[in-house]
Amino acid sequence: MAVPLAVFLVVSVATLALAAEIRASSRGRFLEVARSGFERAAEISAEGLSAGYFQWDELRDLAVAGRLDAANALLADLDDGFRYALSGRIEAGTPPPVPWLFSASGTALTARFPVRDSAGGTPLANLVGVVRLDAERMLAEAAPGGEVALVESGGRAFAFGLSARVTHLPLQALDILLSILIGIAVAAPVGMAARRHARFFYESKGLETIIFLFEQSDRFSAHHSRNVGALALFIGRQVGLRGRRLRDLYSAALLHDIGKISVPTDLLQKPRSLDAGETETVREHPVAGARILDNFWELAHLRDFVLRHHERSDGSGYPGGLAGDEIPVESRIIAVADVFEALTGERPYRSRIELAEAFSIMRAECLDRDLVDLLEARISEYPTFQLPRWARASRA
Ligand SMILES: [Fe+2]
């Protein structure tokens, strides 16, 4: 499952990166909107402060007279008229060359003003009006969603030298969840396709390898198995099996006698009847076949079909003595195909048997009666039956 896991990780990480990029872009937009509102509020406040206080003849005259305490007393109610002003005073200093100048220190914002008369004349030298502004309040009103906050350090450049960061990320957890879900949604079909591909590959290649080995040990049985495979497929189609079930039936039919690998070849090819001990040895091949398939995870699901192909409808078969519907339909089909092929094909110990006699023997052997009837009714179509492409591909 390495491929789907890799797909899941790549897609999830890529989606998360995309979400992060979108969030970063959103943060940038939040910051731009907040900055614009903040700067506008600050400029309007400064303009009002400049006109209202620092171009005020009374204040200027007190300052010129050196009565800074009295001048500053005039600034005591500054916060009443200007919602963003915290405090203001006149102090010694170089007046800015512009009507107002902002400066920041940490999260504090200060505006400096030249002190002039009401006509806006030449500013007083060596005196400056200083007003502390409530930057937090200005920001809260400029960005009421609370997405942007001023920070001492580590944030992005904001306005007038202040730093800020976007702190409110309402969809962050959802971003991660969505990324995982998208990763799963993309990886799951890939995983299923990869598993299907792997299973088909191992089935076809595994079959080829096993049949090749089978042929090396017993060419006759291998030839028989191929014929049984085609015949089982023919019957399986007639009874309505489709897709995966038909493939499994075909694979199981090809492998139904694989357990004969464990039976001595000279016993299998003996041109006369077997004695009791020899018969017992040969009758072990379904169990041996199931045991072999158990060792191939991609073929192990076929083990019961192979194990039961010598069971009979009346319970007289082996190895379990199962009867009727206790026997998987796949095994019953394989049994019909197996006996039919054995009877109508050449054997070392006898010649082929005619069709009518073959079907009569099959009924006497307690094979599935319906399947025997069906095969007899349709056997004339079999010589022109074409294996599907997938079945031809899996033949060695
Ligand atoms: Fe068999």
Q: Are 368 and 313 in contact (CB under 8 A)?
A: yes
Neighbouring residues of 221: CB distance < 8 A, sequence distance ≥ 6:
214, 257, 260, 268
Mean pLDDT of 245-268: 87
**172 pLDDT higher than 70:** no
Domain ranges of the chain: 2-170, 199-393
Separation of 324 CA from ligand 1 center, angstroms? 18
On the question of pLDDT at 184 being above 80, the answer is no
Distance linking the first and last C-alpha atoms of the chain:
28
What band does 370 get if pLDDT is binned at 50, 70 and 90? very high
As assigned by CATH, the class of the 199-393 domain is: mainly alpha
Confidence of residue 169 (pLDDT cuts 50, 70, 90): low
Are the beta carbons of 329 and 367 closer than 8 angstroms? no
Using DSSP's 3-state secondary structure scheme, residue 36 falls into: helix
Class for the domain spanning 2-170: alpha beta
0.75 surpassed by pTM = no
- Determine the distance separating the centroid of ligand 1 and the alpha carbon of 231, expressed in angstroms: 15
Rounded distance between C-alpha atoms, residue 50 and residue 365, angstroms: 115
Compute the distance from residue 289 Cα to the ligand 1 centre, in Å.
Answer: 9
Q: Is the dihedral of CA 198, 200, 203, 205 positive or negative?
A: negative
The CA 257 to ligand 1 mean position distance, Å, reads: 5
Residues 318/319/325/330 CA torsion (nearest 10 deg): -90
CA of 310 to the centre of ligand 1 (A): 6
List the single range of 122-131, 166-175, 326-335 with lowest mean pLDDT.
166-175
pLDDT (tens digit per residue) in 334-343: 999 999 999 9
Cβ atoms of 334 and 252 closer than 8 Å? yes
171 three-class SS: coil
**Residue 370 in 3-state DSSP?**
helix
- What is the spatial distance between Cα 338 and Cα 224, in angstroms, rounded to a whole number? 8
Q: What percent of the chain has pLDDT over 70?
A: 87
List of residues 6+ apart from 114 with CB closer than 8 A: 54, 95, 96, 99, 123, 124, 128, 129
Digit-coded pLDDT (tens) for 92-144: 999 999 999 999 988 899 999 999 988 888 889 999 999 999 988 888 887 77
Alpha helix segments (H runs only) across 117-156: 135-142
The residue with greater pLDDT, 51 or 270, is 51
Among candidate residues 188, 315, 333, the one with its CA nearest the CA of residue 254: 333
pLDDT recorded at residue 393: 57
| 312 CA → ligand 1 middle, Å | 12
Name the DSSP letter for residue 350.
B
Q: Which residue would you say has higher pLDDT here, 266 or 39? A: 39
Counted residue by residue, the chain has a size of: 396
For residues 209 and 287, the model is more confident at 287
Residue 396 has what pLDDT? 41
pLDDT score for 202: 60
- CA–centroid distance, 290 to ligand 1, in Å, is 12
Neighbours of ion ligand 1 (CB under 5 A): 257
**Ligand 1: centre distance to CA 382 (Å):** 22
> Does the pLDDT of residue 52 top 60, yes or no?
yes
Report the separation in Å between the CA atom of 274 and the middle of ligand 1, taken as the mean of its atom positions: 15
Cβ pair 328, 308 in contact under 8 A: yes
Query: Which pLDDT belongs to residue 258?
Result: 86
**Which residues 6+ apart lie within 8 Å of 324 measured at CB?**
313
- Residue ranges in the chain assigned as alpha helix (H): 2-52, 57-64, 68-74, 78-81, 135-142, 172-217, 219-238, 243-254, 265-268, 276-282, 285-294, 303-307, 329-344, 355-364, 369-378, 389-393
Any idea which of 57-66, 246-255, 268-277 has the lowest mean pLDDT? Answer: 268-277
Max avg pLDDT among 3-17, 220-234, 284-298, 306-320: 306-320
For residue 274, what pLDDT is reported? 82
In single-letter form, the type of residue at position 334 comes to I
Contacts of 278 (CB under 8 A, 6+ apart): 267, 270
1 has pLDDT over 60: no
User: How many Å lie between the centroid of ligand 1 and the Cα of residue 243?
Assistant: 25
In angstroms, what is the span from residue 131 Cα to ligand 1's centroid? 102
Centre of ligand 1 to C-alpha 339, Å, is: 9
* Mean pLDDT of all residues in 170-186: 70
Token duo for residue 138? 């200005």
Q: 6: which residues sit within 8 A by CB, 6+ positions away?
A: none
CA of 356 to the centre of ligand 1 (A): 22
Residue 154: DSSP 8-state: S
Per CATH, 2-170 and 199-393 having the same topology is answered no
Distance between CA 375 and CA 390 in Å, rounded?
A: 23
Crossing angle (nearest 10°) for helices 2-52 and 135-142: 120
Highest-confidence range of 35-49, 80-94, 280-294, by mean pLDDT?
Answer: 280-294
**Is residue 277 over pLDDT 90?**
no
Residue position matching structure tokens 């007899």: 376
Supply the pLDDT for residue 106: 86
